[in-house]
Amino acid sequence: MSSLQSRILIGLIGFPSVIYVILNHILVFNIIVVFCFTLAFREFIKIVSNFDNRTYWLFFGTIYIFGSMMSLIYLRSIDSLLSSPFTFLLFAGVMINDSMAFIVGKTIGGPKILPNISPKKTYAGLFGGLFGSIIFIILCDTYFLNGFSEFSLTNSDKIFLVFVFNIIGFFGDSFESLIKRKANIKDSSSLLLGHGGMLDRLDSLILTTPVTMFYVIAYYL
């Protein structure tokens, strides 16, 4: 099975499972979040173990990863309070953006964005992710949110979310690629067969989560 087929299969299985837990089981969701982010932090420690200024990197990783973890838990509690869908949109949007960027980038190829840091990232993939994010937000606003919540997205919400999924997610992914390149490794671990480690799966989410949380706090609390 190719990496593309494997990613599609895992997405078809994992996507509905993640969304179900987000929507229905806040305690289970929080436990899974703590577990996954802790695994990601352990992988981060291993990556930076031979870096210069190791203490700095450990301090930074603690704030960066566990700060994001707490932001995600808090964002889910805000959703419970407001009956808002931001945790769902964050998870689903990041997953769809990453998947579309991977599929389009692998299919079309073309010029690289950061060839010295992440040689597989192409402009085609970036725009593929952008297209996927826009379609996702339109479909959610038109169909999903009307069926599950009285909460409606403003135009500012839509623009912000697409920006977060595509641009902020790209920087989160690229930052992890940068530290892996510095450590001269391809994946954060081999925990997820054929898909690297937990940090590889959470790289976009780690940066997009606090940005989304601060947006929701600023405009809705």
pLDDT by 10s per residue, the chain, length 221? 555 566 566 655 666 677 767 777 889 899 999 999 999 999 999 999 989 889 999 999 999 999 999 999 999 999 988 888 899 889 888 888 888 888 898 888 889 998 888 888 899 999 999 888 888 888 887 777 765 566 778 888 888 988 898 899 999 999 999 999 999 998 888 887 666 889 998 999 999 999 999 999 999 98
For residue 63 the two structure tokens come to 């704030």
For position 150, what pLDDT does the model report?
Answer: 65
What radius of gyration, in Å, describes the C-alpha atoms of the chain?
17
Q: How long a stretch of residues is the chain?
A: 221
Give dist(CA 95, CA 52) in Å, integer.
33
E strand or H helix that includes residue 184: none
- Inter-residue contact 128 to 103 (CB < 8 Å): yes
Name the domain count of the chain. Answer: 1
User: CA 34, 36, 41 angle in degrees (round to 5)?
Assistant: 90
Given this model, what pLDDT does residue 83 score? 84
The structure tokens listed for 110 are 């073309």
Q: What pLDDT sits at residue 68? A: 97
Backbone angles phi, psi at 44, to 5 degrees: -60, -45
Instruction: Tell me the residue range of the domain where 187 lies.
Output: 3-220
Instruction: Give the pLDDT of residue 12.
Output: 59
